[in-house]
Amino acid sequence: MTKKPIACAALLLGASLTAHAAFKLESPDIKANSTIDRKFESNVFGCSGENKSPALKWSGAPKDTKSFVVTVYDPDAPTGSGFWHWFVYNIPASVMELKPDAGNQSGANLPAGAKQNRIDYGFAAWGGPCPPEGDKPHRYVFTVYALKTDKLDLPADATAAVAGFMTNANAVGKASFTAKYGRPKAKK
């Protein structure tokens, strides 16, 4: 075996990683690896936050992107399968951000054509963090997926798992950041 094929493979891998590294997601409201502000906390299950979704912005999507999906997932929820806090799909490829409170239940603040899928709270909207009191802070993974299709044809009652399957089957790239949130044990 010659060194030339190995060098070519290394260059291709490097170019692929560089193109993938250009795709990034950030929020002016929640910094990566920070603690999420209480105002984004849910207002169900004993939590009393404002339950408003943060602003999100992305850039550097793959050139063949036809639409986006945005998700927020808590892998630390004590459910055995994590917990889906937000799922927005059919975001047009021309859109590069979600405004603050885009996740309200009316959907009025979403970009034209975008829809929210049902999450683990049982409704189709933003459902802020609300980990059990006294748990170690949970991780919340914010992800934008670039898709090779204009839209996902999801049934109105699709579970987050079905929506996630369809998203991953059509993804051409993704960008994520993680932040944490915890609730101290209540004093009696």
- Segment 86-145, tens digit of pLDDT: 999 999 999 999 999 999 999 999 999 999 999 999 999 999 999 999 999 999 999 999
Element at 6 (helix H, strand E): helix 3-22
* pLDDT tens-digit map of 168-178: 999 999 999 99
Topology annotation, domain 23-90+116-181? Phosphatidylethanolamine-binding Protein (3.90.280)
Domain coordinates in residue numbering, the chain: 23-90+116-181
- pTM for the full predicted model: 0.87
User: 156 pLDDT band (50/70/90 cuts)?
Assistant: confident
Q: Catalogue the E-assigned strands of the chain.
A: 24-26, 56-59, 67-74, 83-92, 97-98, 115-116, 138-147, 171-181
Percent of the chain with pLDDT over 70: 88
CB-CB contact of 36 with 129 (8 Å) = yes
Structure tokens at 69: 């999906």
Element at 77 (helix H, strand E): none
User: What confidence score (pLDDT) does residue 186 get?
Assistant: 76
Residue type, 25: L
Summarize the confidence of residues 58-79 as an average pLDDT: 97
